[in-house]
């Protein structure tokens, strides 16, 4: 046994882990692997100390640790043994005879099913240049003001309250500020009790899908609707149906045809700037959609992901602002206001629904970041966010105009588009002969990210189209990016 342990144990003196813990951990591993079976007698502390060339006190400490953990048992006058109460473990075959266990950290020993609807690449920032999905320019964000507000929340006030558990619905102060802000800018009539703070729109969609949908329910979405929403609907067991989109938004006549054929539980819509095409839902269709909701009893989930960014006239008010029947759930996010790193969104609805969804939020995310939420409340209260938005709208409008002009000059033979009234991206349809997947791959070699169009298939008709975001790039970066695409084409 002494020779066996000598061969299997090694000691790194001066390492980060104390030597007695190194020895204890290695012996425990040998027991778990079945190399040391229950009832085996270990060498004396003196023998093991001499063999490993360490002080006897270190071996005593190691044995004491293993005794405390239950791996060993000691009998006075008889020695120390591997605990007899442990189950007998078969000695494993050498690793080279079991190639499937080469790395248990990479491959689980149990089976599980993967779902195809979750198979979507995670977009991460990485390239120097980017014509992305329509993201803000974090370089414009009021980061210094946010930093001061966050620091203030960390240091001031009752520490037990500010650093303890809070309301699952989110910071009450932020809900107050959001309520006032949404009522003023979007014509809503909310109270703080009508608002649930989320970590972005995606959490709001998840909570609605989990709390309000049942397996087999029918959900209707615009053709080529946001994949993040569709993933949640499918995960909840719903059947997702699609209706066409034209220059005036969702085809509400096609929607009613679906309603006549089967019960519809929920309709998901990006009414202000349809995702991905950026078109707005026309006023008469808005009225029809609200009437259909009452007539057929379906929920309207209105995703207003970039309402604050409109460049021509006053934007159309949300459907939620004219909802006397309580059929609309309204969600938005400050991700597009500051940057995707700050996960602060909101879900607006009747109080009973907000209470219901807050209970679901509690089991997946006890509460949000109270420090960040209160810091955001302070910026709203002081008007800093509002001033930042006014500045951003001016800057993004200039970038939109420049970007569209650059595309007209350099890409007119390859792509077609309409200048969007708002938002942060241009819906661009490329010539069918152009391989967008290949174009995106070549662009990456030039340190430029563009989407490859794989996610943008309207119904079953490939449009060879992508969203090209302009807001996150400076004028110089936009010129360089368009130049790269022109040269590649």
Model pLDDT for residues 250-269, shown as the tens digit of each residue: 999 999 999 999 999 999 99
Cα separation, 92 vs 111, in Å, equals 21
Contacts of 471 (CB under 8 A, 6+ apart): 134, 135, 136, 137, 309, 396, 399, 400, 424, 425
Q: What is the pLDDT of residue 272?
A: 85
Domains in the chain, ordered, with CATH?
2-82 (1.10.10.10), 129-134+393-488 (3.90.1150.10), 141-386 (3.40.640.10)
Closest C-alpha among 427, 430, 404, 425 to residue 247: 427
Count Cα atoms within 13 angstroms, Cβ side, for 327.
22
Contacts of 235 (CB under 8 A, 6+ apart): 115, 117, 118, 209
What tokens were used for 288? 């029809």
Which residue carries 């951003």 as its tokens? 392
Burial class (CB in 10 A: 0-12, 13-18, 19+), 288: middle
Cα separation, 133 vs 472, in Å, equals 10
Mean pLDDT by 10 residues, the chain (489 residues): 72 85 90 85 88 90 91 87 81 52 73 77 78 88 86 78 79 92 90 93 92 95 83 92 90 94 94 85 91 95 86 81 90 81 88 94 82 87 90 94 95 92 91 92 93 65 81 95 94
Asked if 217 and 266 touch (Cβ cutoff 8 Å), the reply is yes
Contacts of 185 (CB under 8 A, 6+ apart): 307, 308
Q: What is the pLDDT of residues 339-398, one digit of tens each?
A: 777 788 899 999 999 999 999 998 888 777 788 888 888 999 999 989 998 999 999 999
Which residue carries 């640790």 as its tokens? 65
Sheet holding 415-417, edge to edge: 415-417, 425-430, 465-469
Cα separation values, 55 from 59, 364, 396, Å: 7, 50, 70
The pTM (predicted TM-score) of the whole model is: 0.79
Q: What is the pLDDT of residue 399?
A: 96
Asked if 255 and 216 touch (Cβ cutoff 8 Å), the reply is no
Cα separation, 296 vs 102, in Å, equals 57
Given the DSSP bridges, would you call strands 415-417 and 266-269 parallel, antiparallel or unpaired? unpaired
* Sign, CA torsion 166/172/177/180: positive
Q: What is the pLDDT of residue 93?
A: 55
Closest C-alpha among 68, 84, 71, 93 to residue 27: 71
Cα separation, 73 vs 12, in Å, equals 26
Q: What is the pLDDT of residue 459?
A: 46
Output the CA torsion 146→150→152→155 (10° steps).
-160
């Amino acid at each position: 046994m002494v020779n066996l342990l000598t061969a299997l144990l090694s000691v790194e003196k001066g390492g980060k882990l104390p030597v007695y813990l190194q020895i204890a951990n290695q012996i425990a591993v040998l027991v778990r692997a079945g190399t040391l079976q229950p009832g085996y007698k270990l060498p004396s502390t003196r023998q093991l100390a001499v063999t490993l060339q360490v002080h006897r006190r270190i071996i005593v400490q190691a044995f004491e640790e293993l005794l405390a953990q239950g791996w060993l048992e000691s009998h006075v006058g008889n020695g120390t043994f591997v605990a007899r109460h442990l189950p007998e473990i078969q000695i494993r075959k050498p690793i080279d005879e079991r190639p499937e266990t080469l790395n248990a950290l990479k491959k689980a020993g149990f089976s599980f099913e993967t779902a195809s609807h979750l198979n979507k690449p995670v977009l991460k920032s990485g390239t120097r240049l980017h014509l992305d999905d329509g993201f803000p320019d974090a370089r414009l964000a009021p980061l210094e003001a946010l930093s001061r507000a966050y620091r203030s929340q960390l240091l001031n006030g009752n520490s037990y309250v500010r650093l303890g558990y809070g309301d699952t619905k989110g910071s009450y102060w932020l809900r107050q500020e959001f309520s006032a802000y949404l009522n003023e800018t979007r014509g809503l009539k909310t109270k703080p009790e009508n608002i649930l703070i989320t970590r972005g729109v995606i959490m709001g969609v998840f909570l609605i899908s989990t709390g309000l949908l049942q397996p087999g329910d029918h959900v209707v979405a615009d053709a080529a609707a946001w994949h993040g929403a569709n993933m949640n609907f499918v995960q909840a067991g719903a059947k997702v149906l699609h209706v066409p989109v034209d220059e005036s938004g969702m085809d509400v006549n096609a929607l009613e045809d679906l309603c006549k054929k089967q019960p519809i539980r929920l309709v998901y819509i990006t009414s202000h700037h349809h995702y991905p095409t950026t078109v707005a839902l026309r006023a008469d269709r808005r009225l029809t959609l609200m009437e259909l909701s009452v007539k057929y009893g379906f929920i309207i989930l209105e995703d207003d992901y970039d309402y604050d960014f409109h460049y021509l006239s006053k934007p159309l008010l949300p459907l939620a602002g004219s909802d006397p029947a309580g059929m609309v759930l309204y969600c938005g996010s400050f991700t597009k206001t500051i940057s995707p790193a700050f996960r602060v969104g909101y879900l607006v609805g009747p109080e009973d629904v907000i209470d219901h969804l807050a209970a679901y939020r509690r089991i997946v995310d006890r509460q949000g970041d109270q420090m960040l939420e209160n810091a955001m409340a302070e910026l709203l209260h002081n008007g800093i966010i509002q001033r930042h938005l006014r500045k951003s709208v001016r800057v993004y409008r200039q970038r939109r105009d420049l970007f569209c002009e650059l595309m007209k000059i350099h890409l007119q033979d390859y792509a077609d588009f309409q200048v969007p009234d708002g938002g942060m991206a241009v819906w661009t349809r490329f010539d069918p002969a152009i391989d967008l997947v290949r174009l995106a791959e070549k662009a990456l070699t030039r340190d430029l990210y563009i989407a490859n169009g794989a996610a943008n298939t309207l119904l079953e008709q490939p449009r060879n189209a992508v969203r090209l975001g302009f807001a996150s790039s400076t004028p110089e970066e936009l010129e360089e990016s368009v130049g790269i695409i022109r040269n590649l084409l």
